[in-house]
Structure 1
Amino acid sequence: MPAARQHLFLLCLLLPISLSYEIQLILVNNCNYSVWPGVLGSAGHATPEDGGFHLGLGEEAVFDVPSWWSGRVWGRQGCGFDGQGKGSCDSGDCGGMLQCKGAGGAPPATVVEMTFGTDRSPLHFYDVSLVDGFNLPVTMAPVGGGVGCGVAGCEVDLNVCCPSKLEVKRNGKVVGCKSACLALKADKYCCTGDYGSPKICKPTLFSHLFKSICPRAYSFAFDDSSSLNICRASRYLITFCPPAR
C-alpha cells in the first residue's frame, strides 16, 4: 500500500475515536447525613466506580462515562461497612457491599435513570423514577443549561408523608416509602397481567400522591413520558437532598 493511502487508512481508523466524547457526572451530597451512591450500567454497559462509594456531608464525586452510556444512580443511607467493604444499608442496599459491582439497589429507592447519545445522535435522556419507591430526595440537571434541558427529580422527602401501608422503618424511623406495587403486589398497581398496557393501567391513589408532591418524577410504570427530559449537554449534576426551590 502506498504511504499516502496507508496514512489515510490509519486516519480513518482513528477518526471515530477522536470524534467520541465522554459525559461528566457530578454527584453531590447536600443531605445532613452520609450518602452512599450506587451506580449500575444497563445490560451491555460498564459500571463505573465499581458501582458504589461514600459521600460525606457536602462532599462530591466526579467521574466520566462514555457518550453512549446507559444506567442508573441511586442513594443509599444508614450504611455501615467493615474494612472489606461488607455490611448493610437501611435503604437502597446492594447485596451488603460498599461497591455494588453490577448489583442493583433494593427497593424502595429513588432511582436516577439516564441514556446518553453519541456524537452522531447527541440527544441525552434522563429521568427520576419512583416506580421502585422512594428513599431520599434527588435531582439530575445539566450543568450550565443546554438545549431543551430540564430538571428531573423528587426534591421533597416523601418519607414524612408516606402512607402507613407503604412505610419501611428501621429502629422506629421511616427510611423508605414502598411503591404500591411492592407493598400490595397486585396487577393493578404493578401494571402487569390484565393491566399490562398503558390503556388499562392508570394512575392509582398512591401514584397520584407521589406525582402531586414530586411532579418531575414518574410514579408508575407507564408514567415515564410525563417526566422524561431530553437534553444536549456534556456535564450533569446529580444532587442528593437538593435545596428547596
Structure 2
Amino acid sequence: MGMSVTPHEGRSNCPVLACRKDLTQTCPGELQVRAAAGGGVAACKSGCLAFGTDELCCHNTYNSPATYRPSKYSDFFKSECPQAFTYAHDNPSLTHQCSASCELKVIFCH
C-alpha cells in the first residue's frame, strides 16, 4: 500500500512526500515483518528498527551530516520511493522549508 503526506491549509512551503509503491513486495528479508495470519509480509521496517545500531539509527557519533552515511537499507527505500526521506540527514534543505505550521493529510493508496 502506498501513502503520501500532503500539506493542507497552511502558510508554509511544505513539500509533498510520497511513496506509491507497495514495499512489502520488494522488502529485504531482514527488514520484513510477517503477518500473524498466513505468514505473508505485512510491513517493511527500517534498518534502525531492525538492528538498533548507532550507525543505522543516526545516534551518538553518527548524529551529523558529516558522519552519517546512507546504508544499503536507506538506499533501498530511496530507490523505491525517491520523494521520501529515508534517513535523518537525507535532504536537510527540504526539512527547513516546512517551518510554518500547516495541517498535513496522510493518504493511504491501494
TM-score between the two structures when normalised by the length of structure 1: 0.37
Contact 1:159–1:176 (CA under 8 A) maintained in structure 2: yes
Residue equivalent to 1:163: 28
Matched to 2:5, the amino acid is M
**RMSD over equivalenced CA pairs, Å:** 2.8
Percent identical across equivalent pairs?
Answer: 35
Aligned: 1:213 with 2:80: yes
Higher RCO structure, 1 or 2 (CA under 8 Å, sep 6+) = 2
Larger Rg: 1
Quote the offset at 1:142 in angstroms: 3.8
Partner of residue 238 from structure 1, selected from 76, 90, 106: 106
One-letter code of the match for 2:87?
F
2:41 counterpart (159, 162, 174):
174
Determine the C-alpha separation between the residues in 1 that align with 2:103 and 2:74. Answer: 31
Asked whether the 8 Å contact 1:138–1:153 carries over to 2, the reply is: yes
1:186 to 53, 70, 76: 53
TM alignment of 1:42-191, pairs within 5 A: 136-142=1-7, 148=13, 150-170=15-35, 171=37, 172-191=39-58
Q: Which runs of 5+ in 2 are unaligned?
A: none
Structure 1 residue ranges without an equivalent (≥5): 1-135
Per-residue deviation, 1:197: 2.1
Contact conserved, 1:141 with 1:236, CA < 8 A, in 2? yes
TM-score by length of 2: 0.75
What's the secondary structure of 1:218's corresponding residue?
Answer: coil
**1:164: how far off?**
0.2
> Are the counterparts in 2 of residues 203 and 220 from structure 1 also a CA contact under 8 Å?
yes
| Structure showing the higher helix proportion among its residues | 2
2:86 partner SS:
coil
Corresponding residue SS for 2:24: helix
Q: Secondary structure at the match of 2:84?
A: coil
Q: CA offsets, 1:224-243, max 9 Å, x none? A: 5265453889765431116x
Greater CA drift, 224-233 or 184-193: 224-233
Contact kept, 8 Å, 2:5 with 2:18, in 1: the verdict is: yes
Counterparts of 1:209 and 1:182 in 2: how far apart (Å)? 15
